[in-house]
Amino acid sequence: MVYVDLLYKFSFLTISLLDTAKRILYNSCVIRENKAVKSMKSKTVLIFLSAVILCLTGCTESQKPTTVVDNSSAVTTSSSADSESGSDKYYDSTPISQAYLSGNTANLDDKQLEIYNKAVSTINDLITPDMSDYEKELAIHDYIVGCASYDEAHLNALGIGLPNSDNPYGCLINGKAICSGYSTTFQLFMDMLEIPCKTIYATDFEGDDHSWNIVQIGESWYYVDVCWDDPIPDFTDRPVRHKYFNVSKEYMKTKHVWDDTELPDTDSIKFSYITQTVTHINSVNEIESLMEKALDNMQDSVAVTSDMSDFQFSETDQIDTNFNEENIKGLSKVFDSFCEKHTDHQVYCQRVQNGNDIVLVIYMRKFR
């Protein structure tokens, strides 16, 4: 029945297109109408049949396979037995991380050695022995967001961007990356720091190929999308976004599509970004100073909780919808005061689930 409906729709569309084409031809050159329309009718039959075939193919096509790369055990698993997988398709950073851990770079080629040197220099600059795994992970996330920008050439009609944008060379050396460039670079650093991490290759909510990571901090696995924390357009001095840093599987699934049957749930919120940064306030007037402090630290959001009645939320906001700040007495005044000082920022807020709590997250988006 579904196919019948689709065939009907395509038939109606084809007839409409033919009618429109006929009218255009008539208005432009009446003398040629009959000949042109006859030719167009034959072509339309072919177009119609092609459309039906594409429709039937699309209707029977299953969800794109999910591939998970786990460098810790040198394993690549896929949700589809006949899907293409393996190190020939997905960038393997294992030789570089193993060279770092062993102290032996003899087996690295020139390109790998260049990535290695840049990564080692970055670790020496950012990471100290007294840092926790969470602090190391956060430092790497923020570094990648700052050092690279999305290779927008991949968004053109041909989809052809700079070479190596899908791997750490493009991200660390060229400063340009696509989603797999961000995720493989994050994977490389986590492997070098011996923090358990996996890379997921699947799709976003629109069906486009996409890649992100899961990382184990403490006893729980968290989901990270460095690429989506570095939105376009990129520009200097933009605060770092952490909307997709150490979030739960449920949160990530709102905009990411993958076969998660073999992937772990997020069992704890201890090392979620919200938990690590949330502030309990006693007055709305405290919020502006928290926003200023966040900007000073190049962060673009603050999370707050309160015992005040206006902060006792019963529901959350969709990931793309905002909470009306006028529902909290005095909050609009705080936002107005902040924006008067920072005229290049837009401020909005959302109610976000964090474990059993609903937290108010305030975002300060800087625009060019």
Q: Give the global pTM.
A: 0.79
In 10 A of CB 140, how many CB atoms?
Answer: 26
pLDDT of residue 261: 87
Collect the ranges in the chain with pLDDT lower than 50. Answer: 1-61, 74-75, 79-88
The Cα 22–Cα 36 span in angstroms is: 8
Average model confidence (pLDDT) for the chain? 83
pLDDT of residue 159: 64
pLDDT of residue 63: 61
Report the share of the chain in percent with pLDDT over 70. Answer: 77
pLDDT of residue 121: 98
CA geometry: angle at 160 spanning 154 and 165, to 5°? 60
pLDDT of residue 44: 46
Per-residue pLDDT tens over the stretch 7-58: 434 443 443 443 444 333 333 333 333 333 334 444 444 444 444 444 434 4
- CB contact set of 237 (below 8 Å; sequence gap of 6+): 366
DSSP per-residue string spanning 323-361: B-GGGSTTHHHHHHHHHHH-TTEEEEEEEEEETTEEEEE
The Cα 147–Cα 135 span in angstroms is: 18
